[in-house]
Amino acid sequence: MHDCIVIGGGSAGLGAALYAARFSLDTILIAPDMGGTGNIAHKVDNWIGDPGITGIDLMQKFIKHVEEYKVPMINETVTKIEKTAEGFKVTTNKSEYAGKTVIYSTGMKHRKLGIPGEDKLQGKGVSYCYTCDAHFFKDKVVGVVGGGDSAGLGTLLLSTIAKKVYVLYRGDRIRAEPITTEEVYKLENENVKVIPNVNVTEVLGEKTVTGVKLDNGEELALEGLFIEIGANPINELVKELNVEMDDRGFIKVDKTMTTNVDGFYAAGDITNNSTLKQFITSASEGSIAAQTIYMYLRGKK
């Protein structure tokens, strides 16, 4: 039986695995994709000491560091977590693992609009990741749905690649970080147009995106649509454990990353601990969870 099973391979999970290994805990890390959504970050300017690094390069540094501590990184998908007398049984699509404790760090998944044409044209002009797909739309006309940080940053990147960028937002004014918001509105003099107080009701096109319908009755011709309306916590696996969550579905933790379930910890974007969902905060939470487990297991000896 392992001392600790880390579920999730992003910055929180990798940070947790590193610190657990440094505390000499028998640890394994399970995730379908090491690096997680960190792999798709276009540019990371706020990782202290390494400005401008790409997300995938930063995650590769994390992974290499964890490898140096001989932590098994298992590329499998967790399908079930069960509480046992000794700790937890973690079932994946390929195997089963037993651990005294679990650090759950699965992060979030992108929200969808849930409108006609969205699923059919996903990957055919509909994207949920501007950092992954922006380069496919060089000199094309695209739309960005949303008004938060993700939509704002996506607009700034796309403005350097696409011919024209329409920002489609249900509110009066986009609400990204002040600096980002200011930069977006400055670009209205160039190739960006913000269309407020509208909702997209349908994505048009057969084989590729050709446009969208808006709830004001208008149609807008587009060659690509970036849906940047936030993300939901990936919490399905913990519901049967009766782990407490807030009204948004984020796992409730205290300052030590402890949940209401004995031996079960959470870290990173999945928690309600911080509204600042960044690499640096996620890695920090992972390391704190590992230290908490070390103290927890030492106290049980």
Q: Is 4 a catalytic residue?
A: no
Confidence at residue 278, expressed as pLDDT on a 0 to 100 scale: 87
What does each C-alpha distance from 206 to 122, 134, 210, 221 come to in angstroms?
11, 21, 8, 14
- Domain 2-109+231-300: CATH class, spelled out: alpha beta
pLDDT digits (tens, 9 = 90+) for 208-254: 999 999 999 999 999 999 999 988 999 999 999 999 999 999 999 99
Domains 2-109+231-300 and 112-227 alike in fold: yes
> Reduced to 3 states, what is the DSSP secondary structure of residue 250?
coil
In percent, the amount of the chain with pLDDT more than 90 equals: 86
pLDDT at 275 over 80: no
pLDDT at 173 over 80: yes
Annotated active-site residue in 45, 133, 149, 262 = 133
Annotated active-site residue in 33, 57, 129, 149 = 129
Mean pLDDT of 62-71: 98
Annotated active-site residue in 26, 33, 57, 132 = 132
Mean pLDDT of 132-143: 92
Q: CATH fold of 112-227, please?
A: FAD/NAD(P)-binding domain (3.50.50)
Confidence at residue 40, expressed as pLDDT on a 0 to 100 scale: 73
Mean pLDDT of 64-71: 98
Token code pair at residue 116: 């006609």
Provide the H-helix boundaries in 149-200.
149-159, 178-186
Confidence at residue 95, expressed as pLDDT on a 0 to 100 scale: 98
Q: In 3D, which of 254, 293, 287 has the Cα closest to residue 12?
A: 287
Confidence at residue 276, expressed as pLDDT on a 0 to 100 scale: 78
pLDDT at 51 over 90: no
Across the chain, what does the average pLDDT equal? 95
The whole-angstrom separation of Cα 3 and Cα 103 is: 11
**Residue boundaries of the structural domains of the chain:** 2-109+231-300, 112-227
Residue identified by tokens 């910055």 is 11
Q: Is 172 a catalytic residue?
A: no
Mean pLDDT of 100-110: 95
Least reliable range by pLDDT among 51-55, 139-143, 227-231, 284-288: 51-55
pLDDT digits (tens, 9 = 90+) for 177-203: 999 999 999 999 999 999 999 999 999
Confidence at residue 42, expressed as pLDDT on a 0 to 100 scale: 64
Buried b (16+ CB within 10 A) or exposed e, 120-132: ebbeebbbbbbbe
The whole-angstrom separation of Cα 206 and Cα 189 is: 33
Q: 31 with 63: CB under 8 angstroms?
A: no
The whole-angstrom separation of Cα 46 and Cα 29 is: 26
Confidence at residue 301, expressed as pLDDT on a 0 to 100 scale: 65
Confidence at residue 194, expressed as pLDDT on a 0 to 100 scale: 98
